[in-house]
Amino acid sequence: MTTTTTSVGGGGEDRVLATAQQIVKSLNTPKEVREDMLLIFSSFDNRLSNITNLINGEDSKADEDRFGEAEKVIFRWESNSEAHRNSVPWEESPVEAAEYLAAVDEILTHMEGLSVRSDNELVDRVENALQIAMTRLEDEFRHILIRNTVPLDSDRLYGSIRRVSLSFASNDGEIDDEFESFGEEDRDAGRFHERGGSLGDTDVDLIHPDAVVELKEIAERMIRSGYEKECVQVYSSVRRDALDECLVILGVEKLSIEEVQKIEWKSLDEKMKKWIQAVKIGVRVLINGERRLSDQIFEGIDETRECCFNDTSKGCIMQLLNFGEAVAIGRRSPEKLFRILDMYDAVADVLPDLQQMMTDAYVVGEARGVLDALGDAARGTFAEFENAVQTEASKKPMLSGEIHPLTRYVMNYVRLLVDYSDTLNLLLDTGEEELQRLQGLPNDDLGIDSMSPIGRRLLLLISNLEANLEEKSRVYDDGAMQSVFLMNNIQYIVQKVKDSEIRKLLGDQWVRKRRGQVRQYATGYLRAAWSKALSCLKDEGIGGSTSNASRMALKERFKNFNAHFEEIYRTQTAWKVPDAQLREELRISISEKVIPAYRSFMGRFGSQLESGRHAGKYIKYTADDLESYVLDLFEGTPCVLHHLRRKST
């Protein structure tokens, strides 16, 4: 198409140019679009060829004017920045903050429009203004992060629920003649084993929500300006310090492996409890909160977001894991097992969340490693406890024949272990050696093949305890005392099994068999304790029929019976049968054996001595007297012999 030229006066050309210029400006289009429009205009009339330079010149002047205004804003804040910061925080002066950010945007736009042909002085001005602005934004970014950090309220995070059962008394891991037992619930309510509370609301703001918007706006401009490294450094540094402070609030200290292993048990137990809570809060609240925070502030900038989150969280997680590792490789002793299992459960519980949130493969690998180490520690500690129960060799007898501390210790330990059945079923296996030992037990009808791993191991553990008690009973010279000792201890074991979840693991058949054992020991006691006294009440050896029995033989029989009975009374009132029902059943069994025999013997032969002189010397007790004296047995209170004789007179 041929361009036409109309010859008009200069004033006419000015009017054409002014009109075209006004049209382009009124459309308010981007620079590239304006240039295309100008080319089209000039193709229609060559008088419009100069309009490009005219408009571009005006655009350049307008750009410089806008840059100049933005530069003034930056320098004005710089000149009184310290005074302004001390008086009005950035996030509390939204108008001025918006003005500053708009100025930064203008400078960035101007910088992006510069070319290699741009004036060097202008380039220097733009770069200087941008550097000053970024330094300012870096400071504000840091101060907003610090000022708006929300303090951790650990009390609110945990509910009031706690599992209370038994407290494990430490004896430095040794089981010996100075054995300490668990405190029992009904005896010592102030002692307990706490498995930790229920975690409450996990959706916790680590930064005040209103400040997140300000942080996001600053971060976007720093990254756009090429100051990503500085932004990440500030963010990570402040948030790491905040997480360190949170761990302090949760009671987690920075300790080396050597320091952890030197801590005495009572203090270590407290640190382990706090650590268990800190792991749950650390991952579910703190790390989860950091994940949300970095997602919000660095939205759409994936690489920066991941870098900030990993840098911030790594130190907190590794501090927690280091303590777990130190405990796992420390000296194994029975009292640590429950805390180790709690620690294992805590890590296993949060590991899926950690794997989902963390993209740092090293940290996730370390967490898996600590979980495995805690599992190994639990297995090893359990095995050492089994061995300790089997080999504990204290020879100090229980003077009253009651429950041995080892029995209390082991059974209360086992009751706690059942709370961890799910975990122990994962950790424990029944190897060939254990299977052979199980097959060697007289428990063929207990359904061993269908038992869970923890059920089998507890069956072995209690069998080892029973064998150890059998060995301990041999320190008693008195067969009756042996039977009472074993009867008391097996009854205690049965009661602990029957009244707890252990019964489900071992089965009702196991309970029935042990009750049968208790009855056998009771029968053994009666035979050992009363055979000599009962033999005095037999007819054999008296020397004749009821009417002409030898008075001398009768006197001897009554005298011997009295001596045997008084000896039994003297010693066995000091013996103890703690189980009230068992104690009553044993007294009834004694009465059923002794009282009828004595009453019958008195009925047949008592009259031959009652008519003679000094009859009271031989017939000292009535059958009713004996029955009342039997009620004094097994109370654990030594009897004074003359008190018995005074009662008989």
Q: How far apart are CA 534 and CA 644, in angstroms?
A: 20
Q: Are residues 484 and 517 in the same domain?
A: yes
Q: What is the pLDDT of residue 160?
A: 34
Q: Are residues 111 and 28 in the same domain?
A: no
Q: Are residues 375 and 429 in the same domain?
A: no
Q: How far apart are CA 17 and CA 49, in angstroms?
A: 9
pLDDT digits (tens, 9 = 90+) for 357-410: 999 999 999 999 999 999 999 999 999 999 999 998 888 888 899 999 999 999
For the chain, the average pLDDT equals: 81
Whether the model pTM is above 0.85:
no
Q: Are residues 333 and 428 in the same domain?
A: no
- Let me know: does 398 contact 183? Beta carbons within 8 Å: no
Q: Are residues 478 and 520 in the same domain?
A: yes
Q: How far apart are CA 381 and CA 173, in angstroms?
A: 10
The more confidently predicted of residues 644 and 450 is 450
CATH number at residue 617: 1.20.1280.170
Residue whose token pair is 């009259």? 607
Interval 43-67 mean pLDDT: 56
Residue type at 198?
S
Q: What is the pLDDT of residue 446?
A: 61
The alpha carbon dihedral of 594, 596, 599, 604 has a sign of: negative
Note whether residue 157 is domain-resident: no
Is the pLDDT assigned to residue 14 strictly greater than 90? no
Q: How far apart are CA 158 and CA 148, in angstroms?
A: 23
Q: Are residues 490 and 625 in the same domain?
A: no
3-state secondary structure of 199: strand
Q: Are residues 449 and 548 in the same domain?
A: no
Q: What is the pLDDT of residue 451?
A: 85
Note whether residue 512 is domain-resident: yes
Q: How far apart are CA 288 and CA 110, in angstroms?
A: 40
Is the pLDDT assigned to residue 73 strictly greater than 90? no
pLDDT digits (tens, 9 = 90+) for 23-42: 655 555 555 555 566 566 56
Q: Are residues 289 and 349 in the same domain?
A: yes
Is the pLDDT assigned to residue 175 strictly greater than 70? no
**Domain boundary, last residue among 487, 507, 527:** 527
Note whether residue 185 is domain-resident: no
101 pLDDT band (50/70/90 cuts)?
confident
Is the pLDDT assigned to residue 641 strictly greater than 90? no
Q: For residue 293, what is the enclosing H or E element? A: helix 288-297
Q: Which range, 46-50, 99-103, 167-171, is most confident?
A: 99-103
Tally the residues of the chain: 649
Note whether residue 460 is domain-resident: yes
Q: How far apart are CA 609 and CA 619, in angstroms?
A: 8
Q: How far apart are CA 247 and CA 316, in angstroms?
A: 8
Q: Are residues 251 and 376 in the same domain?
A: yes
Q: What is the pLDDT of residue 560?
A: 93
Q: Are residues 476 and 541 in the same domain?
A: no
Q: How far apart are CA 525 and CA 589, in angstroms?
A: 10
The more confidently predicted of residues 642 and 212 is 212
- Domain span holding position 47: 22-55
Note whether residue 33 is domain-resident: yes
Note whether residue 13 is domain-resident: no
State how far the alpha carbon of 27 is from the alpha carbons of 20, 31, 42, 56, 113, in Å.
11, 11, 17, 15, 21
Which is nearest to 169 in space by CA: 300, 320, 284, 336?
A: 336
Which is nearest to 211 in space by CA: 317, 109, 293?
A: 293
Note whether residue 194 is domain-resident: no
Q: Are residues 409 and 513 in the same domain?
A: yes
Note whether residue 184 is domain-resident: no
Domain count, the chain: 5
pLDDT digits (tens, 9 = 90+) for 461-519: 999 999 999 999 999 999 999 999 999 999 999 999 999 999 999 999 999 999 999 99
Q: What is the pLDDT of residue 33?
A: 57
Is the pLDDT assigned to residue 166 strictly greater than 50? no
3-state secondary structure of 621: coil
**Domain boundary, last residue among 148, 167, 192:** 148
Q: Are residues 35 and 137 in the same domain?
A: no
